[in-house]
Amino acid sequence: MRDYLSEFLDAKAVEDGASLNTLISYRNDIKQFLELISPQKITDVTTEDIECSLKELKERGNTAKTLSRKISCIREFFKFLQSENIIKESPANKLITPKIGKALPDFLTKEDIEKICMAAKSKRSFPFMRMHVMIELMYVAGLRVSELVSLPENAINYDMQQVLIHGKGNKERIVPVTKEVIRDILNYVEIRDGFMGTRKSNWMFPSEKSLSGHITRDGFFKNLKKIAFEAGIPPEKVHPHILRHSFATRLVNNQVDLRSIQKMLGHENIVTTEIYTHITTEKLIKEVKTRHPLTQQHKEDK
């Protein structure tokens, strides 16, 4: 029997220029599929046979996202067999791809944020003082990490307690911040000026090592992980975007209207902002299940 899998992978590599990682993924998925339908010949496989193999994979605990990827791979494989006249019609054409729900963004609690800020603030070195203010700004103003690291020195309006942000597509937005954050920024600027000495910088968060003149996304990411570890929070749970998500979640939980949150986040479409309402909904459901008087009564009756 011809090695159809090798031929398929060769075609993907030569004709489509598939990357090594893609080819490995194709190989693993198809190899697993062939094992599931064995000893059935590939030329005799029906749609029902494929559905049975997918049912087996689902029972093994594969998620909808994983199954969707495997279905896509199987479709490509049979499409190739059809193009090579090995089969007349692809049995994978009628497969239904499972719906994949939108993943809800993770977020940190207020207590988590406070621990991270305190861990950064407790260190007296300039890099940690800089990180403390950056973390506060990202959480209080919901900045994207790219907006944060490249924030100009003149972006802060101290009198109005506002930050002018240059977002995606050169669109500007103004986000209010608290007087406490303004105070911390003023303290930081004084330390930053001492750190810079006679050197000049237009950036709020300058860096000596970076070619751009300001701290990089990667630099912020690595430092954030270190500080999370110092704060006793699992580093894998903390990344730059989670601070922005935590900002949005906090506002939704405090009944701030979605249009205002949309403007502060710089979302072009409010549908993007609406995902945070699902977080609140899930939280409410959990609260009802665990704290509702009737639930408690039911537990006591048991």
Among 70-84, 98-112, 212-226, 270-284, which stretch is predicted with the lowest mean pLDDT? Answer: 270-284
Q: By mean pLDDT, which of 98-112, 193-207, 230-244, 257-271 is the weakest?
A: 98-112
Question: pLDDT digits over 214-254, tens only?
Answer: 999 999 999 999 999 999 998 888 888 888 888 888 888 78
**Residue 288 above 60 pLDDT?**
no
pLDDT in tens, 166-197: 887 778 899 999 999 999 999 999 988 888 88
Higher pLDDT, 96 or 232: 232
Active site residues: 144, 168, 241, 244, 267, 276
Using the CB atoms, write b or e for 30-64: b if 16+ within 10 Å: beebbebbeeeebeebeeebbeebbeebeeeebee
Q: What are the residue ranges spanned by the domains of the chain?
A: 4-83, 110-288
Considering only 59-68, 123-132, 265-274, which range has the smallest mean pLDDT? 265-274
**Model-level pTM?**
0.58
CA gap 138, 145 in Å, rounded: 8
Structure tokens at 176: 């209010």
Q: What is the mean pLDDT of residues 27-54?
A: 92
Domain 110-288 fold is hpI Integrase; Chain A (1.10.443)
Is the per-residue pLDDT at 115 higher than 70? Answer: yes
Residue 284 confidence (pLDDT): 47
Classified by CATH at the fold level, domain 4-83 comes out as: DNA polymerase; domain 1 (1.10.150)
Per-residue pLDDT at 293:
52
